[in-house]
């Protein structure tokens, strides 16, 4: 504790605060007729100690860069976090809690980053928040190593439940965190031994402590101290003192406590409490049986206390870090600009043959010095996906300054950690794997879009051109899957020039971007300008009979098909459409200039044709799984060829 930090609230206010939090945990779900009260009730003392005694934050500035990050991985207990945000003065008021789970409220069913002040990441799908926390802890360490503890020195606190640790992503993320030695990461495991269906023994006999010890974590068994505030504080403060390992605190709790009806009942996981149950529990708590009872004197005292704690800590930080925060490097980390970025980008001459996965690596190498927040890595495919950046050292427990991360064969954890890195601030995560392994990381990609996290997901080996590995490794439906995600910027560049333009576009974009790249060499046929509008003309023809629209490697194929069509008296315009979502956002005039109405349109893409009806009258694609054969043979066998395009174009253009 700092010398000028205020003393704790005092026993009477502590007791009242916990009773009020438990009352709100019952009142809000009851009023909404929806929600989860039991976990929030059990964890009220822990959360109170975290917010009032342990965590470092500033109610006047929820975005203070050196605040501790709190993640409620068990996001179904959101009313717990909302209650503490309200009491602490972090942006919520009692009326926000009264509108819990209502349309347009700031207290949605699960915490949402960017929607509710004080919420760091979007949680709810179990285990995701836990894995996000690994990325947040990684971001803190990278920045502390770069700028020093005077400017960056905070912790990441997580509350995770049985469900979070059952989900497979927790294994991947915990293993990675232990390997990297992220000692500013503290997770409290809410060991209530209850799931929706019943006791955890129905499905799970894991020894969580042994499991995390095996991952390289420091594990502390706290036992049944959930009501002992001083013991909780001592445990949390001790966990804050790192020993080179992340820390798991195993806290035995009792869901629904102190309800005389539902304590330790699996029914308390969901909406179990009726008005009579609430009344009986409030009698035990010693608070009035009235909805949303929050004495104003408690709110005033709580907010004064948290503000005083913040003032003491913030003053020290402001003084110690002022010089560091005035440097251009700090500004470039937290307020990046891309001055000079275009001039640094490489370009290729027409006719060159370059795999777009190789082009992205050249682009990353050329621009990495302009991006001090760049954190690059892959799921054991660094060289294969073009995400190995020259000049970056490998991040490890021994070298915590390295910005090249080896995530291992952990696609799910990689995606989730990237979301945490991005939402922490000051980091631009780039992570690569094969497109087919989107199947292993779709949850974090979706949550990146939902939360607006500025990540760059690099998916290479984008079609059946992968070749001999066969249909298990050949993506077919994955592009359609990505394009269906709201708020996800998806780019499949035609060639190396569009790839560098796509990288610049991703850096400037304020949300998540997906780059879909080829394994095989692709002929350079564009100047890259189609990326900024989502589509552009590559080869034009006067008074064309049809428009051929392609993406990725199939654009070059379309160019050759257009040349062959000239022998049949057919004039074809060729359009590259690297980004459907970007093109969809253009004005009708721009859309018409590129794809005029009244002219038949043929699409060609080595993937599912699902969705192409929005743009095309006929489509060449692959609506089956692939085959095990060399890439070129597989493409030809599945109908992705110049001859197939010519034949389809002749039918569509009705020119004999």
Q: How high is the pLDDT of residue 224?
A: 97
HEC profile for 150-199?
CCCCCCEEEEEEHHHHHCHHHHHHHHHHHHHCCCCEEEEEEECCECCCCE
Calculate helix-pair angle for 496-508, 356-367, nearest 10 degrees.
50
CA distances from 477 to 474, 550, 608 (A): 10, 16, 5
How many alpha carbons fall within 13 Å on the CB side of residue 74?
32
Q: How high is the pLDDT of residue 91?
A: 94
Q: How high is the pLDDT of residue 342?
A: 87
433 DSSP assignment: E
Q: For the whole model, what pTM was predicted? A: 0.97
Q: How high is the pLDDT of residue 267?
A: 94
Q: How high is the pLDDT of residue 6?
A: 84
The H-or-E segment that residue 252 falls in is: strand 247-252
Q: How high is the pLDDT of residue 167?
A: 98
432 near 379, Cβ under 8 Å?
yes
Q: How high is the pLDDT of residue 3?
A: 53
What DSSP string runs through 73-136? Answer: SSGGGHHHHHHHHHHHTSS--HHHHHTTT-TT-SS-SS--TTTSTT--S---STTHHHHHHHHH
Reading across the β-sheet that carries 247-252, which strands appear in turn? 69-72, 156-161, 185-191, 247-252, 218-223
Phi/psi at 417 (5° precision): -65, -35
Q: Bridge-partner residues for 161, per DSSP?
A: 190
Q: How high is the pLDDT of residue 655?
A: 58
- Which among 656, 502, 480, 472 has a CA at the least distance from the CA of 567? 656
Q: Bridge-partner residues for 194, per DSSP?
A: 199
The whole-angstrom separation of Cα 555 and Cα 575 is 8
Q: How high is the pLDDT of residue 654?
A: 81
What DSSP string runs through 490-523? Answer: EE--SSHHHHHHHHHHHHH-SS-EEEE--SSEEE
| Below-70 pLDDT ranges, the chain | 1-4, 336, 338, 655-656
Helix residue spans in 203-274 (DSSP H): 208-215, 229-240
**pLDDT, tens digit, 9 for 90 and up, residues 452-468:** 999 999 999 999 999 99
The yes-or-no answer on residue 290 being catalytic is: no
Q: What is the CA radius of gyration of the chain?
A: 28
- Which among 560, 482, 548 has a CA at the least distance from the CA of 517? 482
52 DSSP assignment: I
Q: How high is the pLDDT of residue 340?
A: 79
First-residue to last-residue Cα distance in the chain? 86
The whole-angstrom separation of Cα 225 and Cα 157 is 18
Of 112, 172, 411, 523, the catalytic one is 411
CA distances from 141 to 25, 258, 403 (A): 35, 39, 11
Q: How high is the pLDDT of residue 4?
A: 65
The whole-angstrom separation of Cα 522 and Cα 499 is 11
Neighbouring C-beta atoms of residue 322, cutoff 10 Å = 11
Tokens (6 digits) for 271: 């909406």
The whole-angstrom separation of Cα 48 and Cα 34 is 24
98 Cβ contact partners less than 8 Å away, ≥ 6 residues apart: 28, 31, 291, 292
- Catalogue all structural domains in the chain, each as residue range(s) with its CATH number: 11-316 (3.40.50.970), 341-523 (3.40.50.970), 533-653 (3.40.50.920)
| Helix, strand, or coil (residue 60) | coil
Tokens (6 digits) for 25: 């945990």
């Amino acid at each position: 504790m700092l010398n000028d930090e205020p003393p704790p609230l005092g026993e009477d206010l502590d007791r009242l605060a916990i009773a009020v939090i438990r009352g709100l945990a019952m009142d809000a779900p009851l009023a909404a007729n929806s929600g989860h009260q039991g976990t929030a009730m059990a964890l009220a003392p822990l959360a109170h100690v975290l917010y009032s005694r342990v965590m470092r934050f500033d109610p006047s500035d929820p975005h203070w860069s050196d605040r501790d990050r709190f993640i409620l991985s068990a996001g179904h207990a959101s009313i717990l976090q909302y209650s503490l945000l309200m009491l602490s003065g972090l942006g919520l008021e009692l009326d926000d809690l009264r509108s819990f789970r209502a349309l347009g409220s700031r207290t949605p069913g699960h915490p949402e980053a960017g929607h509710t002040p004080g919420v760091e990441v979007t949680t709810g799908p179990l285990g995701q928040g836990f894995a996000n926390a690994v990325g947040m802890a990684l971001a803190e360490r990278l920045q502390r190593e770069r700028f020093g503890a005077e400017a960056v020195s905070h912790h990441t606190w997580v509350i995770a439940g049985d469900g979070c640790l059952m989900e497979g992503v927790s294994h991947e993320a915990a293993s990675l965190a232990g390997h990297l030695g992220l000692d500013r990461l503290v997770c409290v495991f809410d060991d209530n031994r209850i799931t929706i269906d019943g006791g955890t023994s129905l499905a799970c006999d894991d020894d969580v402590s042994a499991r995390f010890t095996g991952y390289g974590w420091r594990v502390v068994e706290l036992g049944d101290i959930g009501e002992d505030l001083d013991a909780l504080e001592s445990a949390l403060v001790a966990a804050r003192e790192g020993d080179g390992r992340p820390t798991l605190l195993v806290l035995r709790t009792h869901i629904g406590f102190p309800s005389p009806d539902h304590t330790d009942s699996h029914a308390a996981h969901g909406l179990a409490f009726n008005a009579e149950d609430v009344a009986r529990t409030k009698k035990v708590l010693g608070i009035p049986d009235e909805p949303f009872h929050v004495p104003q004197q408690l709110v005033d005292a709580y907010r004064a206390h948290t503000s005083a704690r913040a003032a003491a800590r913030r003053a020290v930080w402001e003084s110690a870090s002022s010089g560091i925060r005035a440097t251009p490097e700090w500004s470039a980390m937290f307020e990046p600009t891309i001055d000079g970025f275009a001039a640094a980008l490489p370009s290729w001459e027409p006719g060159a043959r370059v795999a777009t996965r190789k082009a992205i690596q050249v682009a990353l190498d050329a621009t990495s010095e302009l991006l001090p927040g760049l954190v690059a890595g892959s799921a054991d495919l660094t060289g294969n996906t073009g995400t190995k950046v020259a000049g970056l050292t490998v991040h490890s427990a021994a070298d915590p300054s390295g910005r090249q991360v080896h995530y291992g064969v952990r696609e799910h954890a990689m995606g989730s950690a990237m979301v945490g890195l991005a939402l922490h601030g000051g980091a631009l995560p780039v992570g690569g794997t094969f497109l087919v392994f989107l199947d292993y990381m779709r949850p974090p990609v979706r949550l990146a879009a939902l939360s607006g996290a500025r990540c760059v997901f690099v998916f290479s080996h984008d079609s059946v051109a992968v070749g001999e590995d066969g249909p298990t490794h050949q993506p077919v439906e994955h592009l359609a899957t990505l394009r269906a995600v709201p708020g996800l910027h998806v780019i499949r560049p035609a060639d190396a020039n569009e790839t560098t333009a796509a990288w610049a576009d991703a850096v400037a974009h304020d949300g998540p971007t997906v780059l879909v790249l080829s394994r095989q060499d692709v002929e350079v046929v564009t100047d890259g300008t189609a990326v900024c509008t989502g589509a552009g003309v590559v080869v034009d023809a006067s008074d064309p009979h049809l428009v051929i629209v392609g993406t990725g490697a199939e654009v070059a194929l379309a160019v050759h098909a257009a040349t062959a069509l000239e022998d049949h008296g057919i004039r074809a315009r060729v359009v590259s459409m690297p980004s459907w979502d970007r093109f969809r956002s253009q004005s009708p005039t721009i859309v018409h200039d590129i794809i005029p109405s009244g002219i038949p349109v043929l699409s060609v893409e080595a993937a599912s044709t699902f969705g192409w009806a929005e743009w095309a009258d006929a489509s060449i694609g692959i609506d089956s799984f692939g085959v095990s054969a060399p890439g070129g043979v597989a493409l030809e066998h599945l109908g992705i060829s110049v001859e197939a395009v010519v034949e389809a174009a002749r039918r569509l253009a009705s020119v004999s």
